[in-house]
Amino acid sequence: MYVTIPTTMGLVPPNDTGYYPAMARAFLALVLGTFMAMASSARAASISIEEIVPDLALVHVQGVIEPGDAARFTRTIMDPVTRRVRTDIASVVLNSPGGVVSEGNIIGAEIKIARLPVFVPRDAICASACFMLLASAPVKEIRGSVGIHGASANGVETAEAMAETVGMARILAARGVPQSVIGRMVTTPASEIVWLTSEEIASLPGYRAPGAQPWKSYRPPPR
């Protein structure tokens, strides 16, 4: 069984800044913490290929990102015959509350190198370490929710976790994420989460407005 977070996160809407009111933030932190704690006893993220039509496929990343998922992602996108990235992959579909930052960084690097577009469906989320995957894509279509916060070590904000957050900030800056978004991530404790506004989502490099092209009609980018 793999773990997922309830994806609408709509019990209490965020205010104009993208933050949930204090009571709602506490509830969301409890929910996120509970699911992340369950990850150690649950199966890692579900990473699978969906064949849409001949020569057109989607990679799905769903659930908590755990140790070993980066290697699993690499195996999924590789053609076993050519030992290169499959040429039929049109997009990576994300629905994840986050997980292990180092694994997210590696998967993000794979997405960047392979120049794979990403898609966050309606009623899905991409939060925490999942943002590293999203930020790495050259093309992004986002219809769901995107959440960010600083790193933690087993739920505790340690010096190591602070260094991890700084490392994430540097990677995101190198990938063109606006400083205003990075700043919100760095200043948001791991016990809280901030959901990007529509304006912030649109400011991400490579953002494509929903509906600009039907996502299942994407053609694989040249590689």
pLDDT in tens, 139-196: 999 999 999 999 988 777 888 999 999 999 999 999 999 999 999 999 999 999 999 9
Residue 213 pLDDT > 90, yes or no? no
DSSP 37: H
Task: Give residue 104's pLDDT band: very low, low, confident or very high (50, 70, 90).
Answer: very high
Mean per-residue pLDDT over the chain, rounded: 81
Distance from C-alpha of 202 to C-alpha of 140, rounded to nearest angstrom? 10
158: left (phi over 0), alpha (psi -120 to 50) or beta: beta
Find out whether 18 and 194 touch, Cβ atoms under 8 Å.
yes
Give the model's pLDDT for residue 153.
84
Residue 220 pLDDT > 50, yes or no? yes
Question: Quick one: average pLDDT of 99-121?
Answer: 96
Give the model's pLDDT for residue 200.
98
Residue 23 pLDDT > 90, yes or no? no
- 89-95 and 118-120 strand pairing: parallel
Task: Give residue 28's pLDDT band: very low, low, confident or very high (50, 70, 90).
Answer: very low
Q: Which tens digits make up the pLDDT trace of 61-91?
A: 999 999 999 999 999 999 999 999 999 999 9
Range from 17-26, 35-44, 58-67 that averages highest in pLDDT: 58-67
3-state DSSP call for residue 53? strand
Give the model's pLDDT for residue 38.
42
Residue 20 pLDDT > 50, yes or no? no
Residue 109 pLDDT > 90, yes or no? yes
Task: Give residue 132's pLDDT band: very low, low, confident or very high (50, 70, 90).
Answer: very high
Question: Quick one: average pLDDT of 92-106?
Answer: 96
Give the model's pLDDT for residue 187.
95
- Candidates 161, 119, 122, 129; CA nearest to 39 is 129
Identify the CATH class of 30-202.
alpha beta
Q: What percent of the chain has pLDDT over 70?
A: 74
